[in-house]
Structure 1
Amino acid sequence: MTLSFSWLDLWSEVRIASFIWQAVTIAASILLSLLVSRVVVHWGSAQSRTGIVEDNQSRLVLPMLWPIAAFAILAASRMAFLKWQAAPLLTLALPVVGSLALVRLVFYLLRRVFMRNGNAGGLLLAFEKVFAALVWLGLAVHLTGLWPDLIAYLEHTSIPTGRHQTSLLVIIQAIASIGATLILALWLGAVLEERLMKVGTIHSSARLVMARAGRASLILVAILLSLSLAGIDLTVLSVFGGALGVGIGLGLQKIVSSYVSGFVILLERSMAVGDMVSVATFYGQVTQINTRYTVIRSLDGIETVVPNDILISGAVQNHSLSDRKLRVATQVTVAYETDVESILPKLIDAVRGIPRICQDPAPHALLTGFGLNGLELELGFWIEDPENGKGNLLSLVNRSIWRVLNEENIRIPYSQHEIRMATGAPQSTLPPELSSIKQ
């Protein structure tokens, strides 16, 4: 089916009744496509809990969906018109709506891949403007009938590439094929990751491994496919592969070690997103496990990027590997005349009603030692949410202990130091022979 048309045929069609029917068909096709697109988006938003269409993606789907639906309806309408008479107005509308559908489809794919937190970056917006300008420029060249001349010019204009001559048309086709396949691969990788992250029956580490491996595989296939479409012999990549292997072996050891360590961490499940860990001097919650590094967010909001090879080669304390419960303790010193047997149960009762403190295992109080200033007591308890921090909870516990000590008139001893003052004239401690020399 060709989309070319004659402006003279279009002008002659203005004077007959079929022009009205074609205009009505175009308007009805656009209205029907808008209606169908809104119904589909509304249904998808209603099914967002099952992962069909997310609510935050609805505003991206509608601008992309209705031009595609309108193009399909117009194409079917044009085929029906051509059985009885010419349809130059529909032939004109098809490339216009098709160009709009292409622009909106590329915008949708790019924003699904590169847009973060609902905001498009400046580079993405600039690329979208350039792409839209190229598409509309190509449409203008097509409508003016200059498209065959442009194709012939690009085909006969060659650029020297080594010992060979490559036409501009081949170069543009290669760039277009590489860009299209990469965008499609990135989009499929993003969709695959979203779907895997919603599968609750698979461990989070395994889901991350499958998502990362799937995206890397799709990108590799897209690059190889695009090179084949561009007419590049894949056997020339053997030299590049050898050089890359030497470079990895010599200069990229740490990076490759981090990447391999990332997959090892995810596969052996020694650490997962949400765990509370201690690595070297860092303590916090694991928020991201990427192929090269892991992000640990401390309780004061500071995020630390730790290379994965450090997590493999060094010791890591995982406070929530098999059990998320964490023991917390606070100490207090009381006077030696304190009745320990009566005060320990009261300290336990004082913290039983505090939120976040587990009752199984229950809080416990211990006499841990005999200090220089008094008896050293410890009140220990367990919590199930260490990611929420311990500062506020310890403050509540210490205030409860202070109230009990005040109610029981129990004295907290102060640190005491004995100072002795020497009286009288200081006496020489030098031996007689040295004293005579000094005189």
Structure 2
Amino acid sequence: MSDRFFSHMFGDVVRDYGQPAMLWQAGVLLVTLLLAWVLARVLRRYLDLRRQTRYEALRFGAESLNRAFFPLIGAVLVWLARAITSPFMHTALLNLALVPLFGIGLIYIVFFFARRVFGRYGENQTWLSLVERLVSLMVWIGMVLTVMGIQDDVLAWMGSVHFRIANTHLSLLSLFSGVLWVGVTMIVAMWLGSAFEDRVMRASSLDANLKVVLARLGRALLVVVAVLVSLSLVGIDIRVLGVFGGALGVGLGFGLQKIASNYVSGFIILLDRSLRIGDTINVSSLQGMVTQIRTRYTVVRGLDGVETLIPNEKLITDVVQNRSSFQTQGYAKVAVQVAYETDLPQAMALLVEATQDVPRILQEPAPAPYLVDFGSDGIDLELGFWIEDAATGTVSVRSAVNLNIWRLFAKHEISIPFAQREVRILNAGGILPQNDGADASLAAPPRGA
């Protein structure tokens, strides 16, 4: 068996070793690999420039594509060199070099497509790692079997192993090829969906919500088509999916109704454009900006920077305040109290001055001071003003205005009063305080008086 293993490519290389043909093959191989390295370097620079100028979306998996250039170009050049030199000399070394060049190039090409599909979002890194490991394992096993020359025997053995699943007779080879076809078609479909989403998102003439709807529908349609095609290639009758669809409908009606409701609500939100990415909303005592609208949930980033996942059904059934729908200006006010002896016209002028040079405060309409009430400790004043982009928050603006008021009042010696209370203890009931050495009769009235 060991002699058979090495009677294929390794055996041919060993037979050519020490002959002039081996030196010629080594020279041709080195020249082709050097030419492949130069061409790969030029192609890599050209595509990197195009990615920076036009195709920014190709940055996902670009490193894998760059690494695939050299082995693939080298495989093509070695194959051409073998075809040209085979009538004149043995090409055992070139035949052996074709296997790792083509296999490694195939691995990096699959990595490129997988990273375009899974590498964009951090939550898919586990799937990406699994796909890369499985592809690497299968390609390396295929290369080893090809070099040993036993790939046909292994395929024949896999075809001879039969088993039965329900009413379908399958072999190990058909099962393996079926899983392979399903994986290939799914990855291709998801890659096409990703490319379609990139193209839709770059369209400037479409509404943002419509872009999301088209991208999601396109990817879902491509995945469904890939599943149907892969099942047909495996030999499974797709008419059995009708029974599965009926069972799925019953499951949705009972156990999965919340999940289905969230998905339907997500498409409703995207289609009726009630919410857009970038809107600032209030829902269930949470205020924040919409950063993502997914099919099942919506991501809202609060004013503290924490992102909250809100089920889409909640955005349909609950009361939602959209602070970004019609106007971006908001009205704010600050209150302050001054002493009764204060020069009120001066104090009110200082309130208006406190809004000067504060970012986002509009001067048209102009800030306006008001005398609100005569309090028990001082005169209550109020300053009202309009803020630009109020949906992003008003606390920092009001804080800056209050600091200016404090500084200006201190500079002009205007006091902000604090609560003062006088407590008086009156002589009630004829009770007098006791004094040391005083007559006891003065401390309390006589009994019976």
Q: Normalising by the residue count of structure 2, what TM-score does the alignment of the two structures yield?
A: 0.83
1:411 correspondence with 2:415 = yes
Change beyond 3 A, Cα 1:337–1:88: same
Distance in 2 (CA, whole Å) between partners of 1:43 and 1:195 is 21
Percent of pairs with identical residues: 36
Would you say the 8 A contact 1:258–1:308 is kept in 2?
Answer: yes
1:218 correspondence with 2:219 = no
Shift of 1:173: 0.6
Alignment-derived partner of residue 28 in structure 1: 31
Aligned partner of 2:45 among 42, 45, 48: 42
SS of residue matched to 1:270: coil
Distance in 1 (CA, whole Å) between partners of 2:314 and 2:243 is 33
Would you say the 8 A contact 2:350–2:409 is kept in 1?
Answer: no
Shift of 1:399: 0.8
Distance in 2 (CA, whole Å) between partners of 1:74 and 1:363 is 79
1:377 correspondence with 2:382 = yes
Change beyond 3 A, Cα 1:306–1:120: closer
Change beyond 3 A, Cα 1:362–1:120: same
SS of residue matched to 1:375: strand
SS of residue matched to 2:193: helix
Would you say the 8 A contact 1:284–1:299 is kept in 2?
Answer: yes
Paired residue type of 1:297: R
Shift of 1:380: 2.1
Alignment-derived partner of residue 437 in structure 2: none
Q: Please give the residue correspondences for 1:1-20 in structure 2 after superposition, counting only pairs within 5 Å.
A: 7-14=10-17, 16-20=19-23
Distance in 2 (CA, whole Å) between partners of 1:44 and 1:348 is 59
Shift of 1:319: 1.6
Shift of 1:232: 0.7
RMSD: 3.0
Unmatched tracts of structure 1, length 5 or more: 427-439
SS of residue matched to 1:357: coil
Change beyond 3 A, Cα 1:113–1:56: closer
Distance in 1 (CA, whole Å) between partners of 2:429 and 2:300 is 65
Would you say the 8 A contact 1:348–1:379 is kept in 2?
Answer: no
Would you say the 8 A contact 2:297–2:310 is kept in 1?
Answer: yes
Shift of 1:227: 0.8
Alignment-derived partner of residue 109 in structure 2: 105
Would you say the 8 A contact 2:339–2:416 is kept in 1?
Answer: yes
Alignment-derived partner of residue 438 in structure 2: none
SS of residue matched to 1:273: coil
SS of residue matched to 2:354: helix
Shift of 1:61: 2.4
Distance in 2 (CA, whole Å) between partners of 1:362 and 1:105 is 63
1:181 correspondence with 2:190 = no
Alignment-derived partner of residue 337 in structure 2: 333
Distance in 1 (CA, whole Å) between partners of 2:167 and 2:404 is 85
1:146 correspondence with 2:144 = no
Distance in 2 (CA, whole Å) between partners of 1:257 and 1:168 is 41
Change beyond 3 A, Cα 1:38–1:152: same
Change beyond 3 A, Cα 1:102–1:405: same
Change beyond 3 A, Cα 1:367–1:380: farther
Alignment-derived partner of residue 168 in structure 1: 172
Would you say the 8 A contact 1:181–1:222 is kept in 2?
Answer: yes
Distance in 2 (CA, whole Å) between partners of 1:332 and 1:317 is 30
Would you say the 8 A contact 1:5–1:91 is kept in 2?
Answer: no
Would you say the 8 A contact 1:319–1:326 is kept in 2?
Answer: no
Paired residue type of 2:36: S
User: What CA deviation, in whole Å up to 9, does each residue of 1:212-234 have, x standing for no partner?
Assistant: 22221221111111111111111
Would you say the 8 A contact 2:262–2:296 is kept in 1?
Answer: yes
Which sits farther off after the overlay, 275-284 or 248-257? 248-257
Which sits farther off after the overlay, 211-220 or 10-19? 10-19
Shift of 1:128: 2.7
Alignment-derived partner of residue 429 in structure 1: none
Shift of 1:284: 1.2
SS of residue matched to 2:333: strand
Shift of 1:175: 0.6
Paired residue type of 1:317: Q
Would you say the 8 A contact 2:282–2:322 is kept in 1?
Answer: yes
| Structure number with bigger Rg | 2
Unmatched tracts of structure 2, length 5 or more: 1-6, 431-449
Distance in 1 (CA, whole Å) between partners of 2:376 and 2:228 is 75
